[in-house]
Amino acid sequence: MASLTAILVQYLSAKVGLATGRSLPELCRERFGRRVNLLLWAQAEVVAMATDLAEFVGAAVGLNLLFGLPLLPAGLVTAVVAFVILALEQRRRRFELAIIGLLMLVAAGFGYLFLAGGNQHYGRRVVYLHSAPQRDRALAAGQTERRRLLTSSKWDCVVGLGAAGLVNLAMLCAAAALFHKPGLAGVSSLGDVHAHLATLLGGGAALAFAVALMASGLSSASVGTYAGQVIMAGFTSWRVPVAARRLVTMLPSLLILALAVNPSQALVYSQIVLSFGIPFALVPLLLVTITITALNGCLLYGAVAGLAG
């Protein structure tokens, strides 16, 4: 149900971008008052930091499990890789291919665990982001081309988020098969998961888990930065260099890694913060969608009435 809801929400976000030629934050700035927009922007920035925390901690733990790097150096490596991927943003197609490649690693890793376990994300900001690429495409497209792009975007959402749902299902099934049946009650951290996978399924499964964890963090960190830029520019019309914005939002994550806080506990807290941010994106999206649909209906009625007259 969560995956089906995510498909609908992302499709609505893409549809708004194609129909209006503007991103969701830009539409919010046009339709809502200054105080509401400041509130939406402030909570989005808090969510951005919580998202960065989950991304950095996940990637850092993955690097730690793979190469034995301490968490803080692993976090710094994650930051460098994220900057490299962001450098590809100027060439949108290469940026998208890099993200797709990392997501394929995630799917392959957890798919392997699902198969092996049977034999014996980290969002919230992407609701704002998904309308931005469609906005850019809509500006250079006619009505017929927009309809084609909308159909393509619908299948992108179905296939992409459907695959993400299958990956989540694979993770849950593998965890239930591996840790619940043997009665392993002491699995409370990602390191414990990695160690038990190596014991129960062998080094290949442990390696797949670490690679998937690292790739998931790196892909999310890159997409999150782009989403953060869309949010700030849309709600406030401010444009901050991506590098400067990235440095600011990653500082809390690096600080937590430097303080040696329990990574798994930090991930749990970050998800709690993110869950509170969902309505602040979903409610404006629904309000904007309803308003645009009603306006289009009025325009169509007026045109028909004019022809009849």
d(CA 225, CA 241): 11
d(CA 159, CA 146): 20
**Sole residue written with tokens 């699995």:** 187
d(CA 43, CA 94): 31
**Torsions phi, psi of 262, nearest 5?**
-55, 115
**Sole residue written with tokens 């992409």:** 160
Residues 141 and 149 sit within 8 Å (Cβ to Cβ): yes
d(CA 94, CA 23): 22
Residues 24 and 284 sit within 8 Å (Cβ to Cβ): yes
d(CA 66, CA 61): 9
Estimate to the nearest angstrom the gap between the alpha carbon of 291 and the chain centroid.
26
pLDDT at 113: 60
pLDDT at 115: 56
Burial of 130 per CB tally in 10 Å (0-12, 13-18, 19+): buried
pLDDT at 57: 84
Burial 76-96 (b: 16+ CB within 10 A, else e): bbbbebbbebbebbeeeeebe
pLDDT at 121: 43
d(CA 129, CA 232): 11
Estimate to the nearest angstrom the gap between the alpha carbon of 206 and the chain centroid.
25
C-alpha gyration radius of the chain: 21
**Sole residue written with tokens 């990653």:** 250
Residues 12 and 289 sit within 8 Å (Cβ to Cβ): yes
pLDDT at 119: 41
Block means of pLDDT (10 residues each) for the chain, length 309 residues?
A: 86 84 86 89 84 81 87 86 71 63 68 52 56 60 74 82 78 75 68 80 80 76 67 78 74 83 82 86 88 65 52
**Torsions phi, psi of 253, nearest 5?**
-65, -45
pLDDT at 140: 53
Burial 234-243 (b: 16+ CB within 10 A, else e): bbeeeeeebe
pLDDT at 83: 77
Residues 231 and 125 sit within 8 Å (Cβ to Cβ): yes
pLDDT at 151: 83
Q: 3-class DSSP state for residue 70?
A: coil
Residues 213 and 59 sit within 8 Å (Cβ to Cβ): yes
Residues 163 and 104 sit within 8 Å (Cβ to Cβ): no
Task: Work out the widest C-alpha separation in the chain, in whole angstroms.
Answer: 79
Estimate to the nearest angstrom the gap between the alpha carbon of 143 and the chain centroid.
29
Q: Considering Cα of 240, then 243, then 244, then 247, what sign does the dihedral take?
A: positive
